[in-house]
Amino acid sequence: MRLKKLRLLQRFFPLLLLSVAMMFASHHNLLPQARTAASTVALPFQYLMNMPGGIASWVGAHYPDDSLYQKYDDLLIKQLQLEARLQRYDNLRAENERLKELLRAPRRRVDHALSAEIIEIGLEPFTQRIAINRGAESGIRMGQPVINADGVLGQISEVGVRHSVVTLITHPNHSIPAQIRRSGLRTIVQGAVNQVLVPFLPGLADIRQGDVLVTSGVGGRFPSGYKVARVREVINDTNSPFLTVHADVFADIQSSGKVLLLHKPSAPDAK
């Protein structure tokens, strides 16, 4: 009995050290290739879960959910609204092109996008990262921006063969270059778990409650013009040289399982 316990402990300690070493290495991104290779272990499970008509969709279909009809009606209405807006957008784009031609400005490329789905597995309840069902096979690359209909979600931080991991803009280690739509003020938006902060703005900066932050395109990772967050409150603490700005992100992973992956703008990998 004693002996067996001793043997268990003898086995446990190397594993303990190994676990800690692995977490450390992974957190500091020491062996990215090993990580990608190891994530293949998850493949058979993901494959089974994502099979059309497979277990996941079967289970998903049997949960009490909003009625499909209701959803269908909502989508029809939304579609109409969007089409109406798109007509205006087309006009604006044509006008914009004309004006740009007059100015001889280089034309901006239209961003191409690839759609993907959020896969439930890997969604631990407490994490600022999600997994999607596209990977290296679909041409996904590190750092690719991920958005949904509401705004920017985050960027690809890990690429597997058929899945990849998205670090959300609410992740505390994530920052995104942004600008205030109303005033054009450029800044960065930093993740802060379920919300974002706008750090380093001096007390006189032109920012108010309700301001919309959009991507600024600075740095070349995120194309400009996508909605990021709306300012919830601006606190001017006289003891601090900077404003404290809290903002809520637009993109809600709960609202829809679909996301779009934008192709990086033509600038080479700039960080």
Partner 1 sequence: MLNKPAQRVEARWERIIATTALAVFLNVLPYPEWVKFARPDWVTLALFYWCLAAPQRVGVVYGWLCGLTLDLIHAALPGQYALGKALIALVAAGGYARLRLEPLWVQSALLLALASADTALVVWIHYLAEGIEVRAVYWLGALITALLWPLAFALLRRAGPRDGFG
Applying CB under 8 A, which residues contact partner 1? 1, 4-5, 8-9, 11-12, 15-16, 18-23, 26-27, 35, 38-39, 41-42, 45-46, 48-49, 55-56, 59-60, 63-65, 120-122, 124-129, 131, 158, 160, 163, 165, 171-173, 193, 254
We find the least distance from the C-beta atom of residue 61 to partner 1, in angstroms, to be 11
Q: Which is nearer to partner 1, 167 or 216 (CB)?
A: 167
Distance in angstroms (rounded) separating the CA atoms of residues 203 and 243: 5
φ and ψ of 42, to 5 deg: -75, -15
Q: Which is nearer to partner 1, 23 or 77 (CB)?
A: 23
Q: How far is CA 4 from CA 1, 13, 14, 15, 18, in A?
A: 5, 15, 16, 17, 22
Determine how many CB atoms are found less than 10 A away from the CB of residue 191. Answer: 21
We find the least distance from the C-beta atom of residue 45 to partner 1, in angstroms, to be 5
We find the least distance from the C-beta atom of residue 46 to partner 1, in angstroms, to be 7
Q: Which is nearer to partner 1, 55 or 82 (CB)?
A: 55
We find the least distance from the C-beta atom of residue 151 to partner 1, in angstroms, to be 21
**Token pair recorded at residue 85:** 């807006």
Distance in angstroms (rounded) separating the CA atoms of residues 98 and 169: 35
The residue type of 181 is R
We find the least distance from the C-beta atom of residue 199 to partner 1, in angstroms, to be 15
Alpha carbon 20 to its chain centroid, in Å, reads 28
Half-sphere exposure of 110 (CA within 13 A, CB side): 5
We find the least distance from the C-beta atom of residue 141 to partner 1, in angstroms, to be 17
Burial of 247 (0-12, 13-18, 19+ CB in 10 A): buried
Q: Which is nearer to partner 1, 63 or 69 (CB)?
A: 63
The residue type of 4 is K
Q: Say which residue the tokens 């004006």 belong to.
A: 99
Q: Which is nearer to partner 1, 174 or 221 (CB)?
A: 174
The length of the chain, given as a count of residues: 271
CB-based contacts of 40: which residues, under 8 Å, 6+ apart? Answer: 160, 161
Q: Which is nearer to partner 1, 121 or 185 (CB)?
A: 121
We find the least distance from the C-beta atom of residue 27 to partner 1, in angstroms, to be 6
Q: Which is nearer to partner 1, 36 or 224 (CB)?
A: 36
